[in-house]
Amino acid sequence: MSQNDRIEPTLNTAPLNPGTGQQSGQQSGHQPSHPAAPAPDAPQLTPKPDAVPEQPAANDPLAKAQAEIAELKDRLLRTAAESENLRKRMEREKEDALKYGAAKFSKDVLTVADNLRRAIETLPKSEADASEPVRNLVIGIEATERELLSVFERHGITRIDPKGQRFDPNQHQAMFEVQDPTQPAGMVVQVIAAGYMQHGRLLRAAMVGVSKGGPAPEIQPGQSINTKA
């Protein structure tokens, strides 16, 4: 190489890589162990905490007023229900008093009906065996009995005449038993005194005689016969 041939130094003008401090055209021998720091002016993101429901303050006047309103409403509903129950009970007691208030008086009058029936049964049955005054007496007694029974019906009192029916301990009172093989056991064969009902309630049980010794009565499925006196 001649003297005129001079070697000019060359400068590498490639910009430096800000992350590695090396020039962009050069390869680094190793990778950085930590990530690059963010730019100073980059926005910082922070995790948002879980939302916590707000608890009403103990001295919150609105919450206190709402609680008082709920309590007063509950008391009002309870008072209204109690008043309605009391009204229905009073109406029921009033209705029962109108229906059954004279039950004791009605029981006392039943003896009058019993005596009229006994008088009719003892009088002659045939007009040929009775004189005209006796026949008129029978007609008068029968008319009196019909009128008395009509008064009973107007007040809800009905007569029970169970002759020929099965003995029912709910409406009949067995006074004695009759040995009758021709009648099924447990049948009412004789009525000593008729029974009476008042508005569906037993006023007096019929006093009857019940048959025994005969064939057992036919019992339908689901039915039972009580023949105990």
Homologous superfamily in CATH for domain 157-218: Head domain of nucleotide exchange factor GrpE (2.30.22.10)
pLDDT recorded at residue 104: 85
pLDDT digit string, tens, across residues 149-203: 999 988 889 999 999 899 999 999 999 998 888 888 899 999 998 999 998 889 9
Six-digit token pair at 5?
A: 């041939």
Domain spans in the chain, listed from the N-terminal domain onward: 157-218
Identify the residue with better confidence: 3 or 221: 221
- 213: amino acid identity, one letter: G
Kindly report the pTM of this predicted structure. Answer: 0.54
Question: What is the residue-averaged pLDDT of the chain?
Answer: 77
pLDDT recorded at residue 28: 46
Alpha carbon distance 162, 167 (integer Å): 8
pLDDT recorded at residue 131: 80
Q: What percent of the chain has pLDDT over 90?
A: 30
Alpha carbon distance 224, 229 (integer Å): 15
pLDDT recorded at residue 24: 47
Say which range, 126-135, 145-154, 208-217, has the weakest mean pLDDT.
126-135
Q: Residue 57: which pLDDT band, with cuts at 50, 70 and 90?
A: low
Average pLDDT over residues 4-17: 51
The pLDDT of residue 53 is above 70: no
Six-digit token pair at 183?
A: 């009648």
